[in-house]
Amino acid sequence: MARLSGTTRFAFVLTIAIVAIALLQTSEGRSSKPDSLREEIWWQSEHESVANPQDSIEFELSNEKCPSDLPSLEALQVETPDLYLSMFVELPGATSVAFLNPERGFVAERTGRVFEFRSGQMLAKPVIDLSDQTSVEMDQGLLGMTISPDMRWLYLNRTDLAGSSVVTAHEITSTIGELGSGIEIIVVDQPSAMHNGGDLVFGPRGHLFVSFGDGGGLGDPYGHGQDLSTPLGAILRLSVDPTKWPPHQPAPDNPDLGIGSDPRIWVNGVRNPFRFSFDEVTGNLWLTDLGQQCVEEINILGLSEGGENLGWNLVEGSRPFLGVPSRSLRDPDFEYRHARGRCAIIGGLVVYGALDPILEGRYLFTDMCGGYLMALDRGASKQVFELSLRVEQPVAFARDPANNYYVVDLANGVWQLGSR
C-alpha cells in the first residue's frame, strides 16, 4: 500500500488519530483503501518503526470496537457574531508561537526554523534554523516553544535526526539577528517517530514542565506509560539554568516515586500529551492527552498533585485497556469518545479578559478533526460550547502578555482571536 500523502495534517498530530482518521476522513492521496479497520491499523503499525505484532495484546486492544457507553462530546453550538479570527502571522507549517510582549515574539515552524515577528510583521530570515538537524517524520519536528520567565531564553522542543527529543535554550537578544544553535538542556531517546509529546511550559514557580509521549506503537507496547524509570509517557518538572552545568536538575520538591524512578517525573501515565497550559488565576495545569482509538481527555492538576498516575496504558481515559480503573489511577476531569467528526483534542487555555461572555473563565480548546473552537465550562455541568469559528489544522493556542489569544494553524500560520 502507498503511504498516506494527502493527509499531512494528520501525519502531524500526528498519528494521534490513526483509527479515527480511517473512519472519519477520506483516503485522500492513498492509492488503495484497506479492506477493514484491522488492516488500516496493521498497515499503519508496520510503518511506525516499532515492532507491534498482530497477535500482541496491545495490538488486539487497539483494534477493538469502542464501547458505546463512553461519554460523547455533546457540544452546544452557539453563534458568536462578535468574535472573529484575523491572520496575525502567515506561516504554513507553524507549530507554536511565543511572545516577549504584545508586539514582539517568535513563531516556530515544524521543519526546525524559528522566525521573529515585530508588530505583526514576520522577519524574512529565520533567527534560528535547525532544519538540517530536525526530523519531521510522523509525530516529529519542532513541536514546542516557550520563553523563560526572565525573557532571556527561548526554549525549543524538537526531534533531531536520530529521532531523539531534544530541548534547547537560545539566548534572546534585543536586536534583530540570529539566536544561534543554542544550549542543549535535555535529550530523550525515542523508540519511534510516534507520540513524542513535545510541549514545554514554565509553571507559576518558575520550573520548566516538559511533556513526552509513550514513544509509540499501538497500545504502548514498551509499557512506558507505567514505567517510572523513563521520562517517556510522563510530564517532567525541571529546574533549568542554561548558564550552569548540568543545565537541568529535577525540581527540588518533585514527588518521590520510589526506588529506580526518574526524579524528574512530575506525573506519569500519559500517551501523547501534545499540549498543556497553566490557568493564570488558579495556577492549575490543564493537560490534554490524545487517546488510542476511543477517548480524548483533559486533566486539571493542581501543583500539589505531583506524583499522580494518569493511567495509560492501563486505561484510556476511563476505558479499561491493559488494566481497569482503580483508586491508584487519577480519572480524567473531562473526556469524550471519537465520534461526530472528532478524533484528536488540541488544548487549550483558560480565557480571561472578557473577549466574550461565552469564553470568560472557560477552557478554550479544539479538535483537529473538525477545527471548530470550543469552550469548556469548569463547573459541575462540564458544558461545552462550540463556537462558529474554525481553523483548518489547529495545533496550538497561545496568549500574549496583554491577554490577547491566538490559534496556531499548521496549514496557514497564527490567527488572532478578536472581538468587535
Render 4-35 in DSSP notation, one character per residue.
P-S-HHHHHTTSTTHHHHHHHS--TT-SS--S
Domain assignment of residue 137, yes or no: yes
pLDDT > 70 in the chain, percent? 86
pLDDT > 90 in the chain, percent? 72
| pLDDT surpassing 90 at residue 176 | no
pLDDT for res 54? 57
Better-scored residue on pLDDT, 68 or 238: 238
Average the pLDDT over 76-101 and give the result: 96
Residue 113 is placed in which grid cell? 526554523
Nearest CA to 237 out of 205, 215, 272, 275 is that of 205
When pLDDT is cut at 50, 70 and 90, the band that residue 312 belongs to is very high
Domain limits at 286? 94-344
Mean pLDDT (the chain) is 87
Domain assignment of residue 200, yes or no: yes
Better-scored residue on pLDDT, 268 or 338: 268
Question: What's the total number of domains in the chain?
Answer: 1
Better-scored residue on pLDDT, 54 or 305: 305
At residue 62, the 3 state secondary structure works out as helix
Domain assignment of residue 325, yes or no: yes
CB 75 within 8 A of CB 374: yes
| pLDDT surpassing 60 at residue 130 | yes
Q: pLDDT per residue over 332-343, tens digit each?
A: 999 999 887 788
d(CA 89, CA 407): 11
- Residue 207 belongs to domain with CATH number: 2.120.10.30
β-bridge mates for residue 408, sequence order: 396, 414
Average the pLDDT over 196-213 and give the result: 96
Domain assignment of residue 36, yes or no: no
When pLDDT is cut at 50, 70 and 90, the band that residue 6 belongs to is very low
When pLDDT is cut at 50, 70 and 90, the band that residue 1 belongs to is very low
| pLDDT surpassing 60 at residue 290 | yes
pLDDT for res 334? 97
At residue 59, the 3 state secondary structure works out as helix
Least confident of 21-25, 190-194, 383-387, 412-416: 21-25
Domain assignment of residue 112, yes or no: yes
| pLDDT surpassing 60 at residue 344 | yes
Pairing label, strands 295-301, 275-278: unpaired
Better-scored residue on pLDDT, 270 or 2: 270
| pLDDT surpassing 50 at residue 38 | no
Domain assignment of residue 399, yes or no: no
pLDDT for res 50? 46
pLDDT for res 45? 36
Cα radius of gyration (the chain):
20
| pLDDT surpassing 90 at residue 40 | no
Better-scored residue on pLDDT, 25 or 39: 25
pLDDT for res 52? 58
d(CA 111, CA 124): 16
Domain assignment of residue 107, yes or no: yes
pLDDT for res 55? 61
Domain assignment of residue 48, yes or no: no
When pLDDT is cut at 50, 70 and 90, the band that residue 14 belongs to is very low
pTM over 0.85: yes
The residues, ordered by sequence, that sit 6+ positions from 265 with a Cβ below 8 Å of its Cβ are 228, 231, 234, 235, 236, 237, 254, 255, 257
d(CA 91, CA 393): 13
| pLDDT surpassing 50 at residue 368 | yes
The residues, ordered by sequence, that sit 6+ positions from 250 with a Cβ below 8 Å of its Cβ are 237, 238, 239, 263, 264
DSSP 8-state class, residue 43: H
Average the pLDDT over 4-11 and give the result: 38
pLDDT for res 403? 94
| pLDDT surpassing 50 at residue 42 | no
Residue 193 is placed in which grid cell? 517517530
Average the pLDDT over 298-327 and give the result: 95
Residue 294 is placed in which grid cell? 476511543
Which residues in 203-247 belong to E strands, given as ranges?
208-212, 234-240
